[in-house]
Amino acid sequence: QVQLVASGGGSVQPGGSLRLACEVSGFPIDRSCVGWFRQAAGKERERIASIYRPGGNTFAADSVKGRFTISRDNAKNTLFLQMNTLQTEDTAAYHCATGWPDFDYWGQGTQVTVS
């Protein structure tokens, strides 16, 4: 079975930083699409960053471009999201996902609160 465990969320002040991690077991993320999504209360889920394939195209939503950086450690099969200059609007539950060719596997998420 495939499991994704996200961690690193918490409460920070505006302008602060957090680094989220997503440990994946049972699925090789180096051969897959990986991404981070978030969903704020009362809003639809938003894809904020992704890597389509190794050495392939990356994506960053306009709302986080220049502030958030997605990366992965293939040896550890772990996905990361470095979040800088956090704003109150970034408050949301953050979820990691992976799969090929679709995002078939999802983590439970980690809460980020900026206030």
24-75 confidence digits (pLDDT tens) = 999 999 999 999 999 999 999 999 999 987 677 899 999 999 999 999 999 9
Comparing CA positions, the residue from 19, 1, 37 lying closest to residue 78 is: 19
Percent of the chain's residues with pLDDT above 90: 93
Using alpha carbons only, what angle is made at residue 44 by residues 29 and 40, rounded to the nearest 5 degrees?
85
Contacts of 2 (CB under 8 A, 6+ apart): 24, 25, 26, 27, 105
pLDDT at 54: 66
